Amino acid sequence: MSVRRSDAFTPDEFAAAGPAGGARVRELHGQGVIRRIWHRADSIGACFLLESSDAEAAAAAVASLPMARDGMSDFTVVALVLYRGFSAG
């Protein structure tokens, strides 16, 4: 999940960073790394669903995003495990 650092960057700076960020998101999506992405309703930011071998690989993918690289957004990476509550037995 990400949240923009609106306290440190202006709307114009975010607008200028948008095209490069969008291009990187599309590239990672095309590679199957970003599976889904949503805008957050509670703040200005996004929630990404990533497919990776481990949390370190997910963190590396996130770090390659321009807004992460340039410190314009704070990102939190949470590793998930399969929910087994629907399986029989």
Q: What is the pLDDT of residues 23-44, one digit of tens each?
A: 999 999 999 999 999 999 999 9
Segment 62-69 long-range contacts (CB within 8 Å, at least 24 positions apart): 64/24, 64/28, 65/21, 65/24, 65/25, 66/17, 66/20, 66/21, 66/24, 67/2, 67/4, 67/14, 67/17, 67/21, 68/2
pTM of the model: 0.85
Look over the chain and give the mean of its residue pLDDT values, rounded to a whole number. Answer: 94
Q: Which residues does residue 73 pair with via DSSP β-bridges, in sequence order? A: 4
Q: Is the pLDDT of residue 87 over 90?
A: no
What is the reported pLDDT for 81? 86
Q: Is the pLDDT of residue 89 over 90?
A: no
Q: Contact 62/78 with Cβ under 8 angstroms?
A: no
Q: What is the pLDDT of residues 36-73, one digit of tens each?
A: 999 999 999 999 999 999 999 999 999 999 999 999 99
